[in-house]
Amino acid sequence: MTLEELKVILDKTELKVGYRQWPTGKAPDLPYILYYQENTDNLKADNQSYFKQINVTIELYSNLKNIPAETKLETILNHHKIEWDAFERFIEDEQMHEVMYQIIL
């Protein structure tokens, strides 16, 4: 799966979806999703990379814990057989709730 294909899947949440960040002053109203590539873990042997594994973070931002949005995103990821782990935090200075999903493409 590519990052472009992941974007199409994330669009099914019907939330605004952006890559890494919004332009300054252009963030949409909450809730929204940002996603980005963290790094790659490649399967290597004989001085070659045989298989590329892309580690991606998906961030769901909302003003309060948004269980319906989380459930919808998780259901969509599960439907597309994308394994995920989630972590959450409250960003005090932004007054936003964030759930971060770690996936591998």
pLDDT band of residue 48 (cuts 50, 70, 90) is confident
The stretch 79-86 carries a mean pLDDT of 97
Say whether pTM exceeds 0.95: no
pLDDT, position 69: 97
Name the residue ranges covered by the structural domains of the chain.
1-26+62-105
In DSSP notation, the chain reads --HHHHHHHHHTT-SEEEES-PPTT-PPSSSEEEEEEEEE--EEETTEEEE--EEEEEEEEESS--HHHHHHHHHHHHHTT--EEEEEEEETTTTEEEEEEEEE-
Would you say residue 42 has pLDDT above 80? no
